[in-house]
Structure formats: structure tokens, C-alpha cells
Structure 1
Amino acid sequence: MTHRIKLVLAGASALLALVAAGPSHADTTLSLLIDNSPDTVAAAEALVAAYQAKAPDVTIEIEQRPGGGEGDNIVKTRLATGEMPDVFLYNSGSLLQALKPTQTLVDLSGLSSQAKVDDGFKSVVRADDKLYGVPFGTAMAGGILYNRKIYQDLGLTVPKTWADFMANNEKVKASGKVAVVQTYRDTWTSQLFVLADYYNLHAAVPNFAADYTANKAKYAETPAAMKGFERLKDVHDAGLMNEDFGAASYDDGLRMVSTGEAAHYPMLTFAVGVLKQNYPENLSDVGFFAQPSDAAATNGLTVWMPPALYIPAASAHIEEAKKFVDFAGSVEGCKIMMEINTVQGPSLVEGCDLPADVPPVVKDMLPYFETKGMTTPALEFVSPIKGPSLEQITVEVGSGIRQPADAAKLYDDDVRKQAKQLGLPNW
């Protein structure tokens, strides 16, 4: 008996010594998978550092993956095999739906941070009325960058209708400036008149995205959907573009609109980062407005949403992962990311105010977000279909080579091929 008591006491002493010494590492280790772009890495590292300072019993290990199609395949494979890290960053919108979130991801509807997240963003991380992600970064939009000095010198006002936009263009042309710069050397830039027109299409045909995805609506059979192609033709036929539109590059376009060589450049607002880097002395001379529509009363903004943070259902640390994701989606987490990266558009978190020194391009976007119903996600966020040949088709229309009606039919055929590759029903 005495011998057993001594052993028990010895064991107890050893246990007390271990407890007194404390754990040699954090109680919980989470893994976080992100893409390898510099902006993403910087924001993720800042978020992790801030969270670990608040929760010292948690260690978060960051793993990087490539972007593009290779990154997509990595996400899908690791999710399907149950090898996805505890938290991962991925696209919102149609690409999220391809992950079958109701089966593979954790419902994040109950996070406290969701109360302040913009409804527009919620719409692109929702499935079966449940929310599966929180925003990682700010929104951006597609529309028209314009030179504010030219507008001031010519007494122009920001147009809401296409007719007013074209009238402004004629005045700019008469002044000897380029009215609309186009940069078809970088073919992707030719798509903006089509893609940024989606708010106007959605306003005219609210069910277009669902019917388009279900093969019940076509561009060539929907007049409102053909408008974007017609806008390209209008600008070309009126002789409003730079003479070298076929050889000019994206950077040429930004230079021209920022220095006052041109009045307008159809573009996404992520361009603000390049403007800030390459033309900082002209940054305040560039403004932004939504693509004009046929009626001023229905003019609004087509928005591109940032990626989101998600938690796989197979995670072994779901509750701890939720706490980190909730922090990332909070006002504090939003502010951390804003301080690290260039602001490309409005915040998607109520209370996460933009810095006072944001450029006019960003300030000009705010009124659209402040009025309910004035924004809608771009078509690629509400439908999985985007034909890969669109940028070649829009170059042809914008160059006067192909007519809008023919382009719409060609794009419908491009979309059909894409839908079949995705295995969508009814195609």
C-alpha cells in the first residue's frame, strides 16, 4: 500500500510540474489556404498577426496556392478529398456555387460579423438561404473612368443616359481630344461596355441571369442583352476613339485618361492601384461613373465582388475557425485589410469607413452603394457561364468588323460550349 501511495504521489508531482510549466505550443493550430498574389498575402498575414495577438492560444499557419485555373483545381481537389485547410480563400459568386457549398462548407450565417456585411455581397455567398463566406477586401465596379479636368474645362456633367454620354463625347471630339480611349492590344479591356452594362440589363430583364443559365434566354434574342454590343458599335461608328485603338495597351489607356489625352476609358476600378503607382500626380484628375443606360431613373452600378473566406465541413477545428473568420469579416478585420492594400472600391462592411485620402475614382462609387437598389453583382457572380471568346468578339465589334446582332449570336454559341463543358442541365 505504501509503495502504491508513493507512486501515485510521484505521478501527481510530475503532473503538477507539467501543468506549472504550461503547454509548449498553442492550444489550437489552424491552417489557412490563400492565393499567392502579393496583395492577398500581405492582407492575410496582417489579419493573422492581429488575430493571434487577440487569441494567443491559437496559431494560424498560412499556405499559398497559385491563382487561375491551377488554383481552382487545387481548391476543388482538396475539398473533394477532405484535405482542405481549416479556412480557405476563394471566389464568391458562380465559382463558389460549383463547390456545392451546402454539402462541403460550414454555414456561417450565425457569425456576428454578418450583421454588418453588405446585402449585395451576401447574395454571392448564399446557397439555400445560408451564408457560407465573409468578404476579403473591398468591392470594385465596372464603368467609365473620366478625366475631371476635361469635364470642367468643357462644362460637362456626368451622364446617366447613353444619349447624354454620346453628346459629351461629341463635345470632347470637337475640342480635339480623344473622347473614348480603347486598348484592344490587351483584348480583355474590350469587354467593359458589355460586362459593365449588366446593371442595366438586370433592371430591364430581372430574370435574365437565371433564364440564361437554364438555357431559356439568349443574348441574340434579348434586346437589353444586345445593348452592350451596340454600345461598342456606337462609339466606333461615331469616330470617337483613339486612332491606335487596335495597338494601344491597358497602360496607354490609363495614361491617356489620367493625363487628359482622352476623356473616357471603360474600365474596372481596380485600375486605381495602377493609377496610384504609375500616375500618382494625376490620380485626383480621374473620376468614375456607372455605364449610362437608356433611362436616367434606372441607371446603376455593376459590381465585382471580392473573394471570401470559407470553412470546409471536414475541418477538425470548426468552432475555432469560425472565430477567426468572424474576426476577418468584422469592422476591425476590414480596417486591417484596408490599411494594407489599395482601396479599389467601397467597403462591404458597415462601419468600416474608407480612409479620408481615397482617390475620386473610389469616392464617386459611394453614392451608388448608399442608395438601395443602385448596385447589382456582375453576371459572372450570378451565373456560372461566361464564354471564353467574349474578348475576341468584342474586339471585332469595337473595331467595326462584326455587327452587334451577329456578335450576340456568336457569343451565344460560345456560351453553349462553355455550359456543356460545365455539365449544366438543359444544355
Structure 2
Amino acid sequence: MKLSRNRIIFLGFALVMVLSLCTIGIGAQTKTLKVLTVSNWWFKGHDAFADALYKKLGIKLEVEKLPDEQGVQVIRTRLAVNEVPDILLYYSGANMRQISPEQFFVDLSKEPWVNNLVPVVKNVVSANGKIYGSPNNSMPLGGVVYNKKIYSKLGLKVPTTWKEFLDNCEKIKAAGVVPVCYSFKENWTAQLLNLIGWYEIEKKHPDAAKLINTNKLKMADIPEYVGDFRKLSELREKGYINKDYLAVTFDNAQKMIANGDAAMYLMGSWIVDTLSANYPDKINDLGGFALPSDDGKYNGVTVWASQAIYIPKESKNVALAKKVLEFWASKEGQAAFFKVQKTNGAPSFKGVNAGDTYGIVKDFKKYLDNGQAAMALEFQIDISLSNDLPRACVDAGIGAKSPKEAAQAVDAALEKNAKDQKLPGW
């Protein structure tokens, strides 16, 4: 059948109109949500997730990244005056609970993805029994980072008791290598032994965090906590640390452990971010194990939660923001994130394959998978310790305070800060 010239023109015009209407329809369905975050809380993986979200649901994220230094204060100010985005990234744990999340954030407790949260992380996005946020990233894990080549060369096994740990230190020292690197030039690194020792305390004293938080238990009355200060001092007294520990920085320590100048370093798995960038040919020589307890019965890693994603109550797009969080928690959403974001810890959601990662992370994660992990104390109590714990650890490490005195200094700081925060029971 032949078509007339006018009919062909008409059909062509009609086709153009249909395509134009389809395009208009897609544009009309696209919704833009505003996201507010501190710059260093937003990674390439989040950009990849945002792309996947747009393709899947037609939701576009407009992200405002605040400067790292002033970002947190800006967020608090905007919350106070109700200048809020649709989605907000903010601290989890005690820092979240301090700003009264029930006043600012939507209760997400009944969202379907909540059941997919890894159990150890639920508490840090909760307040008063309700869940207000979704973890923003994977969970770093803490323990002992060690140079596997040195261990192999000296025929050493991963220690499971503190005595075995010290025995390894003695053999490493005899071989002319620093057994344990201290980097007290940056005092935040001094607190790692106490932080990674929390698993043993939580197993032996399950209600410790709750009792500390309500002023019913003192740190100095927990033998294992005082014992961690003892271990910190003992390693120095036995000559198992580097002599220049007061001048060594975090960066220096990474160089020492990567190059085999030190055999072990007490640290969190976030160290792989800089190790992989600065020592890509050495990072696979490193692994990790849990800090050994005295009797070896309670060996596990410490877990640090990431920041979390919240929906402000004043958002005009709460229902749509909930869809974003649902997609974020899904296997598809997490896959988009981890496809470009090599994890420095364990996924915060069950059944998520984070892809390949480094030996340090894999070794630490084995403890988590086996149930041998505890959330860091800072995420379990409402009291801020800021620089007080690092200072106490430095004092114990250099011998300026006894282990008991260092623990008492932490108690004094907790009391002062709790009163400043006007917490009940203090």
C-alpha cells in the first residue's frame, strides 16, 4: 500500500509529538531531593549510588557538602532554625543522641530495611528504643595490625593470650625489629589499646556501658579496663616499643609497619585507606588479629560505626526520602556503592557483598562474623570523652600515671562532662 506525501508528513509529526510527550513525562516524574553532609562523609561510592538511584527511581540527589572544619556546627545551627534538607548526614551514637533526635528526625523503626541492619550497629542509630538513622558506610574494625612477613620469617603464630603476645614481642625484639609501634606524637592513636580491648570487658560485664552511662559503675572498678592501661605501660617497660614513640606520627607508624621496621600496630581498619595509597606494594603483607585477653577466653574486635543518614521531620518530601533510604539499604543500592568504594570495614547491612578488600579487613571481619565483636564504648554511652581518654592513655603509656590513676582520670573526665551535659544521674 502506498502512502500519500501528506499522510507521511502527518505520521512523522505525530511520532515527534509522542516522543516529546514521553520526554515531558519522564521529566515530570523526576524529583530532586536536597542532601546536606560534611564533605569528608561523602565518597565516590555515594556518587555511584546517586546515579543508580536516579536510573532506578528517577530521584535526583542535590548534595551540599559543608567544609570539614565547620560542617558539624553548621548542621546543628540549621537544625535549630529549621533550615533543613530532605536528607541529612550526621553523627551516630552518643553525638546523635545529644541533640534529641526525636525532636528533629523521622522515626524509621518500622521501615522494612531495619531488619537487615547488622545487630551490632542497631544501637548506634537508635535513641530511646527507636531507630532514627541508617548507617552511611561500612563499619571499621579495630585490633592488632601485623606484618605477616615478619611473623612468617620468625615462625610466630597469632597469639591468643597476653602471655603469648609478650612472648612474640620478645622474639621480635631479639631479631632487631620493633615489636609494637607507638605513635604518641598524635595522641589519639594512644587510646587504641583501650578501645580495642573493650570486647573483653563487654563479654565479662554485659551491662558495663549502661551502668557507666548512669553513674552506677566507675571505670577504675573494672579490672580489665585498668588492665588495659597496665598493658599499655608494660609494653614500654619491657622495651617492646619504638624509642622515639613520642615523636612518631600516624603516617610514620604506617611506614614502619609497611616496611617491616615494626611488627605490630594497634589500630583500626581505616588504616587501609592510606596504606593502600602510600604502600600499594606492601599492604598485602599485612594482616590483623584481636588484642589477646589475659586468659584468651575473650578475644574479639572493636567496631566503629559510620555517620548515619537521617530524614528531618521538617522535610517536605519525607515519603520520597524514605524510598531513598530503602534503596540505600537494598543489595542493589549497596552494590552500587561498593562497586567503586573499596571497603575499609564490614558492611552495615546483612547479606551485602562488599567485594574484594584487604587482608587486614578480612582478618578482623572473621571475628565479627563469628560474633566476637563489640561496638566501641563511645557509641554506647551519651557522655563525650573528647581528648580525655587519649590524654589518660599517654600518661599511662609514658609512666606519668599508674594504670589505676589513669582509669580514675577517665572517671573524673566522665563525671565533669556528664554534668556539663546535664545528664540524668550525674
TM-score normalized by the length of structure 2: 0.90
Deviation at 1:177, TM superposition (A): 0.9
* Match runs of 1:212-227 below 5 Å: 212-227=212-227
**Matched residue, 1:48:** 50
User: In the alignment, is residue 63 of structure 1 matched against residue 64 of structure 2?
Assistant: yes
Distance 1:360 1:294, change over 3 A: same
In 2, Cα distance between equivalents of 1:229 and 1:183: 16
- 1:143 counterpart SS class: strand
> Is 1:389 matched with 2:392?
no
Residues 106 and 313 of structure 1 are in contact (CA less than 8 Å); yes or no, is this contact kept in structure 2? yes
**SS in structure 2 of the partner of residue 298 of structure 1:** coil
How far apart are the structure 2 equivalents of 1:350 and 1:220? 37
Residue 123 (structure 1) aligns with = 123
1-structure distance, mates of 2:66, 2:157: 45
1:25 deviates by 5.3
Once residues 412 and 297 of structure 2 are traced to their aligned partners in structure 1, the CA distance between those partners, rounded to angstroms, is: 33
Shift of the 67–215 alpha-carbon distance from structure 1 to 2, 3 Å rule, reads farther
**Displacement of 1:421:** 2.1
User: What amino acid does structure 1 have at the position aligned with 2:178?
Assistant: V
The aligned residue for residue 229 of structure 2 is 229
| Distance in structure 2 (CA, Å) of the matches to 1:420 and 1:184 | 29
Structure 1, residues 302-357: CA drift from partner, whole Å, max 9, x if none? 1101111111122111110000111112222222222333311122222321323x
For residues 225 and 391 of structure 1, the distance between their equivalents in structure 2, rounded to whole angstroms, comes to 14
Secondary structure of 1:313's aligned partner: coil
* Distance in 1 separating the partners of 2:130 and 2:412: 34
1:36 corresponds to 2:39? yes
Match in the other structure for 2:10: none
AA partner of residue 52 (structure 2): A
Cα offsets for 1:354-374 (capped at 9, x unmatched):
323x211011022112123x1
Q: Is the 8 A contact 1:194 1:227 kept in 2?
A: no
- What is the distance in 2 between the residues matched to 1:177 and 1:41? 37
SS at match of 2:35: strand
Give 2:374's aligned residue. Answer: 376
Separation in structure 2 between the aligned mates of residue 384 and residue 342 of structure 1, nearest angstrom: 31
Q: Distance in 1 between matches of 2:309 and 2:201?
A: 30
**1:360 matches 2:362:** no
Give the secondary-structure state (helix, strand or coil) at the position aligned to 1:60: strand
Q: Residue 349 of structure 2 aligns with which residue?
A: 349
Deviation (angstroms), 1:279: 0.8
Cα separation, 2, equivalents of 1:295 and 1:305? 28
Judged with a 3 Å threshold, the aligned counterparts in structure 2 of structure 1 residues 27 and 151 are, in CA distance, closer, same or farther, namely closer
**Deviation by residue 1:139-198 (Cα, 9 ceiling, x = unmatched):** 111211101011111121112221211111111112111111111111111111111111
Distance change in 2, residues 1:32/1:236 (3 Å): same
Distance 2:30 2:350 in 1: 33
SS of 2:323's partner is helix
Stretch of structure 1 that moved more, 125-134 or 165-174? 125-134
Aligned CA distance change for structure 1 residues 181 and 214 (closer, same or farther; 3 Å): same
Residues 34 and 41 in structure 1, CA contact (< 8 A), matched pair in contact too: no
2:280 is aligned to 280
2:221 partner SS? coil
Partners of 1:67 and 1:214 in 2: CA distance: 32
Counterpart of 1:5?
none
Q: In 2, distance between residues paired with 1:189 and 1:166? A: 21
Q: Which runs of 5+ in 2 are unaligned?
A: 1-19
Secondary structure at 1:63 match in 2 = strand
In structure 1, how many angstroms separate the alpha carbons of the residues matched to 2:99 and 2:21?
Answer: 44
Pairwise CA distance, 1:294: 2.2
| CA offset digits 1:70-111 (Å, max 9, x no partner) | 333333332233222111111221112123223322122333
C-alpha distance in 2 between matches for 1:363 and 1:306: 18
Aligned pairs (5 A) from 1:34-183: 34-37=37-40, 40-56=42-58, 58-67=59-68, 70-183=70-183
Q: Partners of 2:376 and 2:199 in 1: how far apart?
A: 7
3-state DSSP of counterpart to 1:88: strand
TM-score (norm 1): 0.90
Once the 2 structures are TM-superposed, how far is the Cα of residue 405 of structure 1 from its aligned partner?
1.3
Secondary structure (helix, strand or coil) at the match of 2:108 reads coil
CA distance in 2, matches of 1:123, 1:231: 29
Aligned residues: 406
Q: Give the CA deviation at 1:224.
A: 2.2
Q: Which moved more, 1:46-55 or 1:105-114?
A: 105-114
Q: CA deviation at 1:42?
A: 2.5
CA distance, structure 1, for counterparts of residue 153 and residue 64 of structure 2: 51
Please give the secondary structure, in 2, of the residue aligned with 1:123. Answer: helix
Does residue 415 of the first structure (1) align with residue 414 of the second (2)?
Answer: yes
Letter aligned with residue 365 of structure 2: L
Q: Distance in 2 between matches of 1:169 and 1:274?
A: 26
Q: What is the CA–CA distance in structure 2 between the aligned matches of 1:61 and 1:354, rounded to whole Å? A: 26
Q: Is the 8 A contact 2:141 2:365 kept in 1?
A: no
Q: 1:154 to 1:101 in 2, by over 3 A?
A: same
Provide the residue aligned with 2:245 in structure 1.
245
The alpha carbon displacement at 1:21 in A equals: 8.3
Q: CA deviation at 1:385?
A: 2.0
Q: Is the 8 A contact 1:332 1:352 kept in 2?
A: no
Give the alignment of 1:194-213 within 5 angstroms: 194-213=194-213
**2:82 and 2:71 mapped to 1: Cα distance?**
17
What SS does the corresponding residue of 1:170 show, helix, strand or coil? Answer: helix
**Residue 26 of structure 1: CA displacement?**
5.0
